[in-house]
């Protein structure tokens, strides 16, 4: 990965999305909860100016609570959603005040969208689940953006995020790249920096980066869209007569590589889809086609040992909470002769084996290259030695011929000498 060349002109950065002004002109757009962490706009042909998850991210940055007391007079940044639940709220311009910053985010979301009737409670739970993930990722995203911002403004170099993720700054450098949501919370940002420059945190970060590198590619190609929104977008792009995507075919499409050689975006994606497809046929018959319907939550549970660490093996986040049975209930209703609940394949181990296989292949190629190089050197030395021997033989032959030619002259000179002496 090459470093960019410094530029002479000022570098423009897109920056982080900010919260639209209120009252919001598109508030009438209706959203519906369709998964644990998935909201979609209805009807399907509606294209919102901002995705629901984008608005939630803007709300989290807008209402970031900063430092919170943790006892004994100490404070720490709001690292998790639990911090937000303890963070107090303040009255807004409409005299609304909630019990916590967490409730503020959930309730203010409805200033920008309208919930489908009768699903308000479930929709609030989904908004909260999306916000939890955003809040958890905020410090990490801020560290990467700080590196990009620092190099753009101070070094006139535009770093792409893959490279920025591998760069760490000093405290003074980070202070020159304050994220917008910490502009008026500098003491909080200083504590966040203390974590970023901590050697233990950096070691953990490096280990996580190495594990992530073993994945061998991106997670998916959906961008900032959840699976249902991605399917809606792709269906709008499909021509007349083309069969619309469902969540399973959409998931497969979002995991297919754009590279000319094709394949999956990472080996783990292929493992999941193959495991799900095999279990689907086991549950529905060998002639059944998993692409004929949306993701079956029962098949997903059976193909990946339930919700391991709280996550479904296939379609996590895109299935409604009420539609996901408990693994214990599934076991109770599964007969010994029926499709078994499979142990979840370990993509990490699979990729580790692939990684080691690649290392072994590289080692084999290096050894082969070394062997060929040594053979070439040995052949060159042998040829050189043979050439020297031939040259030596030629020299000896020439020396012999010279001696042969000199012999009669020597005999004649000796004869003349003898004759002269006898006289």
pLDDT in tens, 61-108: 999 999 999 888 899 999 999 999 999 999 999 999 999 999 999 999
Helix (H, G, I), strand (E, B) or coil at 251: helix
Distance CA 23, CA 273 (A): 44
Residue 423 pLDDT more than 60? Answer: no
Is-contact 215 348, C-beta < 8 A?
Answer: no
Distance CA 239, CA 236 (A): 8
Is-contact 177 159, C-beta < 8 A?
Answer: no
The predicted pLDDT at position 338 comes to 78
pLDDT in tens, 39-64: 999 998 899 999 999 999 999 999 99
How far apart, in Å, are the Cα atoms of 96 and each of 10, 66, 99? 42, 21, 10
The predicted pLDDT at position 348 comes to 57
Lowest mean pLDDT among 206-210, 291-295, 414-418: 414-418
pLDDT band at 261 (very low <50, low <70, confident <90, very high): confident
Helix (H, G, I), strand (E, B) or coil at 370: helix
- Dihedral over Cα of 387, 390, 394, 395: its sign: positive
The predicted pLDDT at position 2 comes to 67
pLDDT in tens, 215-240: 778 889 999 999 999 999 999 998 88
Contacts of 277 (CB under 8 A, 6+ apart): 290
Distance CA 79, CA 103 (A): 17
Distance CA 78, CA 134 (A): 12
Distance CA 140, CA 152 (A): 19
Distance CA 329, CA 331 (A): 5
pLDDT in tens, 107-160: 999 999 999 999 999 999 999 999 999 999 999 999 999 999 999 999 999 999
Q: What is the phi/psi pair of residue 352, to 5°?
A: -65, -45
Distance CA 197, CA 169 (A): 8
Residue of 123, 122, 85 lying closest to 104 (CA atoms): 85
Verify cis geometry, omega within 30 degrees of 0, for the bond prior to 112: no
């Amino acid at each position: 990965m090459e470093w960019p060349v410094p530029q002479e002109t000022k570098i423009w950065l897109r920056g982080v999305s900010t919260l639209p002004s209120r009252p919001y002109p598109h508030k009438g757009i209706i959203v519906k909860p369709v998964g644990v962490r998935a909201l979609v706009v209805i009807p399907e042909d509606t294209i919102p100016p901002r995705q629901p998850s984008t608005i939630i991210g803007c709300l989290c940055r807008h209402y970031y609570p900063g430092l919170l007391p943790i006892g004994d007079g100490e404070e720490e940044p709001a690292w998790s959603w639990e911090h937000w639940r303890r963070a107090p709220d303040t009255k807004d311009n409409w005299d609304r005040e909630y019990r916590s910053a967490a409730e503020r985010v959930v309730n203010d979301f409805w200033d920008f969208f309208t919930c489908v009737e009768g699903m308000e409670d479930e929709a609030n739970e989904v908004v909260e689940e999306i916000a939890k993930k955003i809040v958890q990722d905020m410090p990490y995203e801020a560290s990467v953006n700080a590196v990009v911002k620092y190099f753009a403004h101070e070094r006139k170099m535009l770093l792409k995020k893959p490279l920025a993720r591998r760069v760490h700054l000093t405290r003074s450098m980070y202070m020159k790249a304050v994220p917008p949501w910490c502009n008026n919370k500098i003491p909080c940002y200083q504590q966040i920096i203390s974590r970023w420059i901590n050697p233990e945190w950096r070691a953990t970060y490096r280990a996580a980066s190495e594990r992530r590198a073993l994945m061998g590619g991106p997670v998916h190609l959906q961008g900032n869209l959840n699976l249902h929104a991605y399917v809606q977008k792709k269906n709008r792009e499909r021509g007349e007569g083309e069969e619309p995507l469902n969540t399973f075919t959409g998931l497969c499409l979002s995991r297919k590589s754009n590279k000319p050689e094709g394949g999956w975006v990472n080996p783990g994606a292929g493992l999941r889809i193959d495991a799900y497809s095999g279990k689907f046929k086991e549950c529905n018959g060998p002639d059944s086609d998993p692409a004929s319907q949306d993701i079956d939550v029962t098949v997903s549970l059976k193909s990946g040992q339930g919700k391991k660490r709280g996550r479904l093996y296939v379609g996590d986040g895109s299935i409604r909470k009420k539609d996901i049975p408990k693994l214990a209930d599934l076991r109770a209703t599964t007969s010994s002769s029926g499709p078994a609940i499979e142990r979840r394949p370990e993509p990490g181990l699979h990729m580790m084996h692939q990684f080691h296989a690649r290392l072994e292949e590289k080692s084999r190629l290096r050894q082969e290259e070394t062997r060929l190089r040594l053979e070439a050197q040995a052949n060159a030395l042998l040829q050189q030695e043979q050439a020297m021997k031939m040259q030596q033989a030629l020299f000896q032959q020439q020396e012999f011929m010279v001696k042969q030619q000199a012999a009669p002259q020597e005999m004649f000179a000796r004869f003349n000498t003898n004759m002269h002496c006898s006289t």
